[in-house]
Amino acid sequence: MSGERVYEAVSAVMPCAHLAWRVGSVPPLPWCVYYLDEMDGYAADNRLHTRRNRWIVEHYYKEHDAELTAALEGALEQEFGAFKTTGEMWVDDEKCYETAYYFTEIEKEN
């Protein structure tokens, strides 16, 4: 549940941080932040068998870059399979665009 797989997949394409960038360390756009939206699991016989982590990756950018978007989506799909997206939204406070990606990571418990 640490998010290492999410970080590795996204950071291979662009800078990313868990939840937020530290004050003074925000790189120039584009970049992503990721966080755990929800976690649950499947149990039987008083034992947890799998854990399901629902992640969100928020991609922030000044202008659309089709190659970068395709690389990010390809990395997410390769590592986690299918995902949902919000499409482009304008974030007035940040003066940039944002696209959010929603996907699930299944972890098998030993």
| Alpha carbons 96 and 88: distance in angstroms, whole number | 10
State how far the alpha carbon of 31 is from the alpha carbons of 47, 54, 70, 74, 77, in Å: 39, 20, 14, 16, 18
Give the pLDDT confidence of 76-90 residue by residue, as tens digits. Answer: 999 999 999 988 999
The fraction of the chain above a pLDDT of 70, given in percent, is: 88
Provide the residue range defining the domain that includes 70. Answer: 4-108
Q: Is the peptide bond before 30 cis (omega within 30 degrees of 0)?
A: yes
The closest alpha carbon to 57, from 27, 85, 96, belongs to 85
The tens digit of pLDDT for each residue in 43-94 reads: 666 766 677 889 999 999 999 999 999 999 999 999 999 999 988 999 999 8
**DSSP-assigned letters across all residues of 34-58:** EEEEEEEEEEETTEEEEEEEEEEEE
Number of domains comprising the chain: 1
Q: From CA 100, how far away is CA 80, in angstroms rounded?
A: 15
Q: Tell me: the pLDDT tens digits for 19-33?
A: 999 999 999 999 999
CATH of the domain at 48: 3.30.2000.30
